[in-house]
Amino acid sequence: MIVVMRVGSPEAEVSRLCEEFKGWGLTPEKIVGKHKVVVGLVGDTADLEEALIREQSPWIETVLRVERPYKRASREFRHGEASEVVVSTPNGPVPVGEHHPVAVVAGPCSVENEEMIVETAQRVKAAGAKFLRGGAYKPRTSPYSFQGHGESALALLDAARQASGLGIITEVMDTADVAKIAEVADVLQVGARNMQNFALLKKVGAQDKPVLLKRGMSCTIDEWLMAAEYIMAAGNPNVILCERGIRTFDRKHTRNTLDVSVVPVLRSLTHLPIMLDPSHGTGFWELVPSMAKAAIAAGTDSLMIEVHPNPAKALSDGPQSLTPDRFDTLMKELAVIGNAVGRWESSREPALV
């Protein structure tokens, strides 16, 4: 249920109402929008009459029932307004959301050594990226493939963070690692393979760092939003949804099928910020620029691009990684599309040479 308050409702009245709803066994969430205050009611509201709620205060404008299974993640829960996730980074806060410039995340699939991660961080920062990505703990299909350097790679990410000022995004696979990864990471990534690892979702929901939730490769949009709901229900409202390609029938020419149509679909269903990952979404670096441009044209709020100083020698995902030079070129091309749709930070416009 969403309780929409009239413009100018006194704060004390909104608080009084929230206390009343708590007394009914519900969890009220006050959301202060640009124009109005709304109170989202979470809990068992199936038998609750809208009229009974309306009677509780003359300041209530309307009461709406959210029919979707996800509540906090639903667009209605914020009365149609987009939310933003503001990530603290050494370079200052970086907002990710519908009303902000496209934020670009770039870096290698895996953190391999200090030199490569620091060099990549500096190169992608110079090209305009806001975040460095890099896996310390890697979810690999084969137990014999490189599994990531683990804890020692966290220290290397920290060095790259200090050297570049970029925010760090890295994956957490195990509930036991959440706290130590959160000490270094500015955003915790839950990977496609763990999208429905409910213990992990609850754990990242019970800590403060924003969460990047990748879409499971065979998951529907509703399942994905329900996974986001787990994180939000556990107390963390800062969730970014990342489309990274879904399993379809071609495995030869594309690794996955990047579902660009999720952008307008998610826009209507949820207020949460959206990221698209054309690297995992296609599997081949040659396809990344086209799909990155398509993602911006479609209205994504952010992009994730794998960049490696020497893709041929990468310990994971080399074939889909851009070199830093190719990433530079791509960022200049993206600026054209980003400016055309009014979503590019002006300082990132390509320098005239």
Nearer of residues 165 and 318 to Mn ion, judged by Cβ: 318
Nearer of residues 3 and 109 to ligand PEP, judged by Cβ: 109
CB-count exposure of residue 199 (10 Å: 0-12, 13-18, 19+):
exposed
Nearer of residues 109 and 233 to Mn ion, judged by Cβ: 109
Q: What is the DSSP string of 10-23?
A: -HHHHHHHHHHHHH
> At closest approach, how far in Å is the CB of 25 from ligand PEP?
38
Q: Tokens 């959440």, residue?
A: 178
Nearer of residues 109 and 274 to Mn ion, judged by Cβ: 109
Q: Which of 280, 293, 308, 348 binds ligand PEP (CB under 6 A)?
A: 280
Nearer of residues 39 and 173 to ligand PEP, judged by Cβ: 173
Q: What single-letter DSSP state applies at residue 73? A: T
> At closest approach, how far in Å is the CB of 135 from ligand PEP?
5
Q: Does 271 bind ligand PEP (CB under 6 A)?
A: no
**Residue 119 has which token pair?**
């060099």
Whether residue 291 contacts residue 260, with contact meaning beta carbons closer than 8 Å, is answered with yes
Closest CA to 255 of 306, 204, 293, 205: 306
Chain residue whose CB lies nearest ligand PEP: 191
Whether residue 106 contacts residue 124, with contact meaning beta carbons closer than 8 Å, is answered with yes
Q: 220-259 mask for ligand PEP (x: CB under 6 A)?
A: ------------------------x---------------
Q: List 276's β-bridge partners, or say none.
A: 243, 303
Whether residue 28 contacts residue 72, with contact meaning beta carbons closer than 8 Å, is answered with no
b (16+ CB within 10 A) / e for 27-38 = ebbebeeeebbb
Q: Which of 14, 26, 106, 192 binds ligand PEP (CB under 6 A)?
A: 192
Q: Which of 128, 191, 237, 278 binds ligand PEP (CB under 6 A)?
A: 191
Residues that bind ligand PEP (CB under 6 A): 109, 135, 139, 191-193, 214, 244, 280
